[in-house]
Every structure is written in C-alpha cells, then in structure tokens.
Chains A and B, each alone.
Chain A
C-alpha cells in the first residue's frame, strides 16, 4: 500500500507536486491554511497513490515522504 505524507506546516503551496503527480490525486487544500499562511498540498485519494515519488522529486522544500 503506497502512502504519501506531507509535513504540512513547511509547505509553501507552490503546487509543483500537484503537477508532477501522474494520477492527479494531489491538490492544494481549499480550506486549510498552515503556519506559514499557505494552502498546503494534500492527497485527496490516498487509495489511488502508486508510490512513484514524482511529487517528492519535484518538491523544492523536501517535505514529502513516500512509502510503499
């Protein structure tokens, strides 16, 4: 079971992970605001994650951990 976790408070909401995801299951949260004042990235359909780590490879702040 693939799993992707974000350290939400360090996310700057750039959205590069959402573009990199081949399954298009990541989005910038519409209702949450983190400590920095950004809308953090989140996984909307965790069950569809394939654990390819494309999001983590493109994350400039290195806040994504991928397990498989």
Chain B
C-alpha cells in the first residue's frame, strides 16, 4: 500500500528551486489540499513574480501569471467572474505580497474577497540575488545590508498577519512554518482550511508560511531550518491571527509583549 506519493495536482516535472528550498514543500501542500478537497477541475491559481514565478509550470490546474504584486487583484477579477464555480488561490512571496503588492493585499483583505492567499515569507529577495526585503529581520545581513539591517535607516519589518488582523474584513489569517515534520503537518491543515473557507464562501483567507532560503541566507539547508527556529519565529510568532467564524478576532501574541 502506498502511504506517500507525489500528489496528482503537482505536475511530474523537476522543480527549479535551489536544494533545500522549502518552496517545494509548500507547493506540495497546496497540491495535496487541492487533491483532497477534489477541486482540481475548477481551481485557478495566480502565480506571482519572484522565485515562484514558474509556479504555473508545476500546478496541474489553470494558472495566470500576474504583474508584480498584483495577484490578489487578478484573483479578485477571476473570482468575481464566476464566484459559484471557481476556486481561486494566489501563491506569493514576501517581495511580491509584502512590498510592491501591499496595497492589493490590504484592499483584497479589507473587501473580504472570497479567495485564498498563500504567502511565503523567507525574509529576503531570493530570485534577484538576496537583497533586503520588507520582511528582513533587524540586523539581518543581506546583499544590500552587509552590516545588518539598520532599523534607523531602513525601518522595521512588515508583519503582514498582525497588520491584516486589525482589519474587519478578512476571515482567516494564520502564520505557520515548514521547518519540521510536525510544522509541515500543521501547515497542511492550515492551507486545507484556507481552501475550505473559500468553498464555504466565508471570505479572504491568508496563510503566511515562514520559509527558508539557504542560498541567500548563506547556510546549509539544515542550518536554514534551525535559523527559522532561532531567529524568524521569535520575531514572527506562529498562530491563528484571525478566525472570524471561530470568534478569534485579535493577535494571539499581543498579551506577551
């Protein structure tokens, strides 16, 4: 009996990502969610600009390539054209969703568009060679901050889940990571729930996945996963930031600060 194999919604071609990049894990989780919910034939994905720009080569569903950061706007148009039959998801990185596409993200959330957003946060611009991203941690060394991110010069990182949780619009916001087997299973549950919310017509669901970039962080894949635990998660706490149906309406980590 086969207990694990490649999901059908993930086309059988080699992924172009660097060795140890967790994009591949998240691609697989999205494909598994599509398979398990049986929505393969009516799903439309919106690919971003960034490392995952070629996501349209990997998902076995209709895909549209959006202009940089505009995936939620394109998703809004697709979803509104046939709201009863289509399932629309966007797959975006932090340079796409949290930088040039902040306006589209915030307004799609504020309108409570019935779409699913998968947000990959790896605290760096991967495709362009490791420049400082809006989500880079204070003090983080990147190509454009060789002495570490100076918050007096460059400001502080954008915390998308915290920011959007202050809006009344969005239905579901959760931050997960994929640096261990346990966390991957949890991420899968969250992604599946985000798709289920859309099927149920509940509205905007965003799953932020804390991801790794071994190449541009200058680490081995194993060290990169440890760095997520040591540096990223203390700054970007995991948890459900908003679940309107379940009555969770605020930041779960607010009291601790």
Contacts and interface: CB of A to CB of B under 8 A. Distances in A.
A60 interface: yes
A65 B214 CA distance: 25
B16 to A, nearest CB: 10
A66 B28 CA distance: 15
A43 B27 CA distance: 25
A65 B21 contact: no
Chain A interface residue count: which class? 20 to 34
Contacts, number: 73
Contacts of A59: 24-25
B10 interface: yes
A12 B21 CA distance: 10
Given A10-B14, A54-B181, A15 B2 contact: no
B221 interface: yes
Contacts of A66: 2-5
Contact of A68 (B1, B14, B28): B1
A57 B14 contact: no
Interface string A13-28: 1111001100000000
B4 A56 contact: yes
Contacts of A65: 2, 4-6
Interface of B: 1-7, 10, 14-15, 17-25, 27-28, 180-181, 184-185, 214, 220-222, 225
Given A10-B14, A59-B25, A62-B28, 19 more contacts: A12-B19, A13-B19, A16-B20, A16-B221, A16-B225, A20-B180, A20-B181, A57-B181, A58-B180, A60-B15, A60-B21, A60-B24, A61-B15, A62-B7, A62-B10, A62-B24, A65-B4, A66-B2, A67-B1
